[in-house]
Structure 1
């Protein structure tokens, strides 16, 4: 079905509701596409094909995504499906129940055909777990698809599904979206249900080829679950309506260097300059800006919280599987970060959290004068497979990883929304994403601008060369 890879999830669902396509046709198209493409990219690590086929007769045509195939990241509970988090420790574990978000995804009408690859416990900006092996970038198989939602992004970019579940604790939606040339919205803290969420860094949503798919899914899933520690302000109207709404004339500050003024790869700088020029052509006001961010202090504080998040993950997993966690069950990097996180004191944790709150104030003051902030998504193009594999020096690994992804953690630390927009490909035909940040709770402005940019420079029809054959 040529229509399958040429349409987004909203469009496919409309055809199902008009009886022009059936859910089983869509599911079989997704399965066929996965079998052809996945051996090359290693995006889908758990197939749920038979389960998906069994659900097609139960599709409710009143649901927004009735009958559309979908993929869940292997870091979300989905009843009856494997849950490994890319870790040997959870290799044989099956989810006994849905997360709140998963239950809402089911009720949207999406049919899950499998789970996607992620780095172990989602802690790296690449997707190369020892358990399943690396997910490869569909645009060039020698390069990373990014992480930690690399499997999701590679699957969407190569046309297995039009959108897929993804999560983001330090850039894990936007990094792979940038690497794979698709759209990725990191939503506001508390926009979707997420409980427990001890440190407030992570969110769960999706990656997609079209902007309206991301908006329509958020319409179906947003709102707190019982006991959620954070609740984002209610939207004024549906997010999908925002996509078609002109954004008006926006005042956008932009950065073409790192936060502390250091130069970045020319491709990433050119992508930002190009995006700024496009925004100006669309009638917006652009100004190059600087931010009052102490990069060293920010990195140190984020590291404290990130490491302790890993420690918490390792110590909480034994309750799921009924066995004691030990070094042999985890990759060396994961275990060493977990051990390092356990050495921080309570005072150090509270100090880091206090700094993040101060930083949220810094960004709130910035958005008094500007509607949005534009930055590169990454400081250089996608890295090659193996380039960021841990070699035993935690300090050196952190330097390399943080150097590649200096921008994305800002949204997680402060809770604000941010999106990767695929507007630029370099001379090697690798995608180079740009990132827009908005004030807390203001996904609406991001969706309006994204819809305008998508109309001005469409990207949804782009498929990597080796995946173009139906």
Structure 2
């Protein structure tokens, strides 16, 4: 049975843009909205396990005198791997005691400058390494569509809270698919922006290959588009073309390549069929669609895994320096330790892997000379049950299961290109199934125009149409 909190309170069934209009028109007040969001979160979180840190008093205080910005007074959550002043950054683990951050990180400063009011921090998988937030001691983050399923990836907490109606928009970030994976699993819009599009905390900027991009999870294309427009007013990377104000479909008919083959893995028959139905819809809309091979080279999956694993090694080696004396590496889960061991075993191959990952941007650029957009499934199979990806199964088994599921999203983290997951399909048992569209670097505007078109052609289904808890 689904779990959600949609009701006739101050939030109603509104998305973030709709809520902004309601506040501006005086139909609801910011304190009413914040109180409703807190009540909704309390209602669903006992089941979902999505909240890492509650800041109810702070949010209520801010609601009485909200900062300016387009989203002034709209409640949100920030993923618990970025610094927000006065809140600990726990990174999805209990391997250290979190200390309140002295100041907002660069991402939080930009994010909250749009007017959003954070209710606290949303949970993630341990250190963001797994595609499912299932901690052996803290418990799993569950999917509001079906609490027996995972909410997916390290932005699971944010996704669960938005899909369940606790808040209309929440921060997420994506180093291997962690905006798009939970968007697919929970029926949301999840756009991973171009590398460098949004401000980032120092730790993310210093990675040898900058895999991580920050963004939001929303229930509508217009919310995602409005957030990028407003974020751009606060922070702008001048090397990228502006996104601008994208409020409707574009007129240009596009060259769209479609593939159901990921990095070393193919989509399941059910997922492949759903992808081809989406391709048929695009053809009906007048776009030119053709099947293409996956652009990722054969070495990509191994290279990405090795680099990803090296980040675990760096975390173990620098944990005490980063997190303080309370850091206890023995409390980290089996996946984190297994990734670190994998990197140590293959350390000699790491420089070559990094070099090849950096060259993927050129590979992608050549692909997009021939195709404006690539369509593929967001994930290779349906959303697994809670426990399927739990780290307690042991590194080898969990890794194999992760690779079976997450075969499509990491490519865009390596290339730096934008990609969006849209809730355009569903499984035989009615669970959301995301379809992913990607474009060349800097072309978020094109993706948003196409997303608007698809949302109009095949309106998204949300949990507000389902039975309440």
**TM-score of the superposition, structure 1-length normalised?**
0.92
Counterpart of 2:3 in structure 1 is none
Of 197, 206, 216, 2:216 maps to: 206
Distance 1:270 1:464, change over 3 A: farther
Counterpart of 2:411 in structure 1 is 410
Counterpart of 1:6 in structure 2 is 13
Counterpart of 1:465 in structure 2 is 466
**Contact 2:110–2:235 (Cα < 8 Å) also in 1:** no
Q: What do residues 25-74 of structure 1 show as CA deviations (whole Å, max 9, x unaligned)? A: 110110111121111211123211111000012224x5110100001111
Counterpart of 2:53 in structure 1 is 46
CA distance in 2, matches of 1:207, 1:237: 18
Alignment partner of 2:185: what SS? helix
1:293 and 2:296 matched:
yes
CA distance in 2, matches of 1:5, 1:176: 23
1:122 and 2:128 matched:
yes
Of 250, 267, 272, 2:270 maps to: 267
1:169-318 matched pairs, under 5 angstroms: 169-194=175-200, 195-196=202-203, 197=205, 198=207, 199-222=209-232, 233-236=239-242, 238=244, 241-259=245-263, 263-295=266-298, 297-318=299-320
Of 47, 60, 66, 1:59 maps to: 66
CA distance in 1, matches of 2:457, 2:57: 40
In structure 1, list runs of 5 or more residues that go unmatched. Answer: none
Alignment partner of 1:269: what SS? helix
Distance 1:49 1:148, change over 3 A: same
Deviation at 1:308, TM superposition (A): 1.3
In structure 2, list runs of 5 or more residues that go unmatched. Answer: 1-6
CA distance in 2, matches of 1:325, 1:164: 28
**Contact 2:77–2:158 (Cα < 8 Å) also in 1:** yes
**Contact 1:191–1:224 (Cα < 8 Å) also in 2:** no
CA distance in 1, matches of 2:117, 2:234: 23
**Contact 2:295–2:367 (Cα < 8 Å) also in 1:** no
Alignment partner of 1:253: what SS? strand
CA distance in 2, matches of 1:131, 1:94: 22
Deviation at 1:464, TM superposition (A): 6.9
Of 322, 325, 342, 1:323 maps to: 325
Distance 1:308 1:214, change over 3 A: same
**Contact 2:267–2:377 (Cα < 8 Å) also in 1:** no
Distance 1:167 1:247, change over 3 A: farther
Alignment partner of 2:421: what SS? strand
Deviation at 1:312, TM superposition (A): 2.2
Alignment partner of 1:355: what SS? helix
Deviation at 1:201, TM superposition (A): 0.6
Distance 1:343 1:208, change over 3 A: same
Deviation at 1:326, TM superposition (A): 3.9
Alignment partner of 1:90: what SS? coil
CA distance in 2, matches of 1:249, 1:57: 47
Deviation at 1:292, TM superposition (A): 4.8
1:30 and 2:31 matched:
no
Distance 1:314 1:463, change over 3 A: farther
**Contact 2:255–2:288 (Cα < 8 Å) also in 1:** yes
Larger displacement relative to structure 2 (285-294 or 300-309): 285-294
CA distance in 2, matches of 1:70, 1:181: 18
Deviation at 1:324, TM superposition (A): 6.4
Deviation at 1:163, TM superposition (A): 1.0
CA distance in 2, matches of 1:212, 1:90: 39
1:317-466 matched pairs, under 5 angstroms: 317-323=319-325, 325-342=327-344, 344-345=346-347, 348-391=349-392, 393-459=394-460, 461-463=462-464, 465-466=466-467
**Contact 1:167–1:173 (Cα < 8 Å) also in 2:** yes
Counterpart of 1:152 in structure 2 is 158
**Contact 1:156–1:164 (Cα < 8 Å) also in 2:** yes
Counterpart of 1:161 in structure 2 is 167
CA distance in 2, matches of 1:143, 1:128: 11
**TM-score of the superposition, structure 2-length normalised?**
0.92
Counterpart of 2:82 in structure 1 is 76
**Contact 1:259–1:290 (Cα < 8 Å) also in 2:** no
Alignment partner of 1:81: what SS? coil
Deviation at 1:325, TM superposition (A): 4.1
Cα RMSD between the aligned structures?
Answer: 2.2
**Contact 1:52–1:112 (Cα < 8 Å) also in 2:** yes
Deviation at 1:101, TM superposition (A): 1.1
* Count, aligned residues: 458
CA distance in 2, matches of 1:193, 1:386: 35
Deviation at 1:87, TM superposition (A): 1.1
CA distance in 2, matches of 1:96, 1:382: 38
CA distance in 2, matches of 1:223, 1:365: 31
